[in-house]
Amino acid sequence: MVILTLNCGSSSAKYQLYDWDKKDVLAVGVVEKVTIDGSFINHKVKGKEEITINHDCPTHLEAVDLIIKTLTGKENGCLSDMSVIKAVGHRVTHGGAKFTKSVIVDDAVLEAFNEMTDLSPLHNPAQILGVKAAKKVLPGVPHCAVIDTAWHQTMPPESFLYAVPYEWYEKYSARRYGFHGTSFLYTAKRAAVLLGKDPFATNLVICHLGNGASINAVKDGLSFDTSMGITPLEGLVMGTRSGDIDPALPFYIMRKTGMNPAEIESALNKQSGLFGITGKYSDRRDIQNAKCNGDKRAELAQDIEARRVKKYIGGYMAELGRVDALVFTAGVGEFAFFMREKILSGLEGVGIVFDPKKNEMSHTRNTETCISKAESKIPVLIIPTDEELVMTEDAYALMAGTYDIHTKFSYSFQKKDYINKSRAEGLQGELEKHPELKGIIASPR
């Protein structure tokens, strides 16, 4: 049995093909620059080299069609036809207050997602197009929505309510929703395994740092507070998003410039954050290179980003009282050791002591690592996220009728002996080149 997962972003479409019976990944890939000139697909089949194919994708409909044709192509594919796919898992960014867990997509569910596009204008429209395109190609299988906001539905009112007129919440559902829930679910469950703790007796601060970034305070295995708000704009400094600002700032700029609300919204989402500070870059690798070449604004951007993350870590530690581990995940959290160093430096006073050498060595998606020193009261773990696996397992369980909310449902990666086959194979190759990596691998207690 094969399960396909699709993760459509604002300008990309990631996918994974998973053999459920063999518990192994058959193919992975991403279509980049969707809706932008110069779109292309990076595609890798198990046991073969990655390939890149240039292909125009003006919308996500063409991107999904390209994915299907690539998966079934004679030269680069791994499927004879699409009939072996028995379920499709789709990432959906915003489910509002209505969806507390993953759900099979029907017309009513699609309409509910469509009604929430004003809450997630960069993501939900693309994801709805992705679902429609996939349902057209695979009409006879269940299509399952795995929703980013669902994980955070356990937050208490004092975490999710804004101090604004209460009727805004009652009439318009204006509240904090939070995002990156699929990633937080995976990393929270894996952290509990590594710590040897009951997941529902585990307190964590998890930093999901990518182009979009957020932090989650996990109390007794449940989302307790998170940095993103009613939309993914609030919180940390991100690639092109401002994160926290004075709410009066947009009105001030509108008065000064004559900009309208739509222009302000676009500026805060697409022209701010690291890009806004540097004037050039949103990718942390570009910013690091620029900083090393003497670009002071690039260095300033790093300092501002790190300062914001530190503030949230400290705030969530105060909220939780006891923290069992600090976790980094996602592209920047997993690979950008220079950003982790900036964030972790100076946290000794709150019981976090990292090892600079271990930190620099941890640059992999194939294993979980620990970069804290022995005397650190709070372990610092790097857990490569696996949103695709959560989507796959949810889709299978929904198809089989065994799925439930995560407090009543157990995933394969919660087992102490869980092994990700494709990552284990990749790790062997890394260890041959970098045997010192073995010394920082975090094993279950």
CA distances 92 to 28, 79, 114, 146, 182, Å, are: 19, 26, 11, 6, 10
Q: Which residues of the chain have pLDDT under 70?
A: none
Give the SS3 label for residue 210: coil
* Dihedral of the alpha carbons of 382, 383, 385, 390, in degrees to the nearest 10: -160
Q: CA-CA distance, 288 to 303, in Å (whole number)?
A: 11
Q: CA-CA distance, 355 to 376, in Å (whole number)?
A: 10
The residue annotated as part of the active site, out of 19, 81, 118, 148, is 148
CA distances 178 to 78, 105, 143, 327, 390, Å, are: 36, 22, 24, 18, 18
382 phi, psi to nearest 5 deg: -115, 115
Report the DSSP pairing between strands 222-226 and 369-370. unpaired
CA distances 336 to 9, 63, 149, 210, 264, Å, are: 22, 29, 26, 10, 30
Give the SS3 label for residue 420: coil
Asked if 224 contacts 204 with a C-beta cutoff of 8 angstroms, the reply is no
What domains sit in the chain, N to C, each tagged with a CATH number?
2-147+388-414 (3.30.420.40), 172-383+419-440 (3.30.420.40)
Residue 330 burial (CB count, 10 A): 24
- The pLDDT assigned to 326 comes to 98
148 is catalytic: yes
The token pair that represents 183 in the structure block: 């990633």
Asked if 199 contacts 407 with a C-beta cutoff of 8 angstroms, the reply is no
The token pair that represents 295 in the structure block: 């670009």
Longest dimension (CA), the chain: 61
Q: CA-CA distance, 100 to 34, in Å (whole number)?
A: 30
- For the chain, the residue count is 445
The token pair that represents 353 in the structure block: 């002591």
DSSP structural state of residue 220 = T
pLDDT digits (tens, 9 = 90+) for 371-418: 999 999 999 999 999 999 999 999 999 999 999 999 999 999 999 999
Long-range pairs, 155-159, Cβ under 8 A, ≥24: 155/223, 155/224, 155/225, 155/226, 156/224, 159/224, 159/225, 159/226
Whole-model pTM: value is: 0.94
The token pair that represents 333 in the structure block: 């959290």
Give exposure, 72-90, as e/b (b: 16+ Cβ within 10 Å). eeeebbbbeeeeebbbbbb
